[in-house]
Structure 1
Amino acid sequence: MPGESGKKLFVGPRFRRIRQQLGLSQTQIAEGLGISPSYINLIERNQRPVTAQILLRLAETYDLDLRDLATADEDRFFAELNEIFSDPLFRQIDLPKQELRDLAELCPGVTHALQRLYAAYTEARRGETLVAAQMADREGSQFDANPIERVRDLIEANRNYFPELETTAENLRDELNVPTEGLFTALAARLREKHSIVCRVMPVDVMRETLRRFDRHRRQLLISELVDSSGRNFQLALQIGFVECGAAIDAIVSRAGALDDTARRLYRITLANYFAAAAMMPYQAFHSAAEALSYDVHV
């Protein structure tokens, strides 16, 4: 690392990582380096540069190798982010390379989370392909298309609009008549009182690799604690969709014509998801709010 006295560097996230590895607070490391805690705070937020003298003092005081502040990790993170966003999934997003580099340097935790999310996505797509191949092998020429693609075609043919489900979802929200923060309680009460289904949020070690499970025998909807509040609301609305809109969903499926069992089941799940989304964000209410706010996207 350059050692000339006038050299200034912005290494906030790496500086913070080293401090945390040393088990020191900002005040403690500031005392050790002979500078103010507020300056340490600004350094770690990349709002102030750190001079070569401070880096040398850091190395001498805490017996560190200055190579710990090298950019090897950031370069690796940048390369991985670049690979992720090269996927056709993001082809319509114009993301400058500098923004990816900034993300890799300033938010290594976010970068790691994106890597895990993308890995889960690719694994899911691989699973789709495997299931389709297995179905085709088992049933032969009976399956001319991937059931997932068949359902997508049906959604597109209906222009992703199913008025009977939309209306029922809006009626549900009107009946509940609660703000968003009270939606979970209201949906859980409806399932319990109208359908004798109890919702329980379960610890992750019980749910293991699943985020949702419906126990038909005990009439319990189990949701992992990993699911956030909006996700929990969605799962409750989804279950209501299955039990209250079963007939409407079956009617829509029957209009699709001949479907194999896999495509029919997938279509029903997709329609129940449609209902849940419509219940969480009723179109008329959303449209009225958009009109009132002059379509201000930020608001």
Structure 2
Amino acid sequence: MNSATQIGRLTEPEAPDAELDLAGSAPDPLTIGRRVRHVRQEAGRTLGDVADAIGISPSALSLIETGKREPRLSVLAALAKVLDASVQDFLSSAPPSRRAALEIRLEKAQRQESYEALGLPKVKVGPRLPDEALEALVGMHEAMASAQADSAATPEHARRANGELRERMRAADNYFGDIEAEAATLLKAINHPGGPISRAAVDRLAGHLGYKLIHTSDLPGSTRSVSDLRNKRIYLPQPEAGQHDSRSLAMQAVGHHVLGHRPPADYSEFLSQRVEINYFAAALLMPEKDTVALLRTAKQDKDIAIEDLRDAYAVSYETAAHRFTNLATRHLGIPVHFMRISQEGVIYKAYENDGIVFPSDATGAIEGQRVCRQWTARRVFEQPDLTQAYQAYTDTRSGTYWCTAVVDRTSAGSFSVNVGVPYQHVKWMRGRDTQERSVSRCPDPACCTAPPQPLAGRWDGQAWPSARVHSHLLAAMPPGVFPGVDDTEIYAFLDKHAPTD
């Protein structure tokens, strides 16, 4: 609910019982206190008078009325007797008036840890605070709470953000001309002659932007790079994983500054920025003009292969596959899909504009879903030689697709990187003469999710596996501007490495 809606609700002439929707719930000290004060004031009695009558101090009764002390039942019974009321009059969960309901909401809001963390003074809730000011304060607190909830990025928020980002990419055919233009301008500025970009060229590019690249072995474990904006330094890990990885990380870090990124306001913006810097790095590693020329020649020869892009620009197969999706539809008129999945078939990344239907959950999210066992992306793991690309045709419920897949072995396990096109576009691709073919009937359980009947007959009801469920699946995304990053760790790192005056 947005803030305008929330504030609007406060001004509607609703009955007191509707304010907090607490009917049937146990009363809290704030509500009990407000009801005690309401009954006392209705009876025309003063705080000191009633306190004397039940044998407690006026300050003790004030603490009860303001909800700062929970009264014992004996005290409530004494108050009921003195005020000619019943104990139940104090224990109702509904605030006694609209004004009391607003006061309770403001008191509760100001007691939240999130408000305490702001370091702001609390507004004293008393009879001199006008109703209009009280309504505005409650509205602002609830709007702030709503915004904080939206930016907390629970797994559901993350899946929704991923879905929205995928729609944006599909609408643009995964091609972003403004980022291509920025990359081309930078390459021209350093007089890049074309072809693969070297480590030395990356250093020149960073220098052109006023930054110095520094490789270090003690980069904080939660980061891929750290930029010192004050001293114009970008810290990167030692290039142990290969030269192209180091180049890519450097250009991703530079990309934040070139593309004018600000600290992300929420998880959706964080994901969008990650996609943009990955695109920017790929556009530098594989310049649009040269890469398109190579692809057009390959299309003319009916010999497009992701391996050729990988080898021509000394990049990873995944980077080459991603870059192909950037350029294939816009420059070659070829719709495509891309996947990176685990050996178990779980989707980590995916993109499509060719009509293929990825498995999805009830919210439409595809990340974390398993693809059919009959798809090329999974069948590649069954091949005897995992170093070779594997091509196959698959008949699916949305049409027939030709795909090529390669196994990428990493420290986190083996993954399949898959690129596919609809059958009518396979004539441009190398490997189209493959005889490998399969049929996928998913989401029909009989295709591959339900065990074969003989196997199920032997073991149904006799197995109890212990599932590997990680706690992060249930927790909110890590807090902070940059999810999962410890600010103290980052600042200590920069302190350690900052140049001395």
TM class by shorter-chain length? 0.3 to 0.5
Structure holding more strand per residue: 2
TM-score by length of 1: 0.42
Whichever structure has more helix as a proportion of its residues is 1
TM-score (norm 2): 0.27
Task: Compare CA radii of gyration and give the structure with the larger one.
Answer: 2
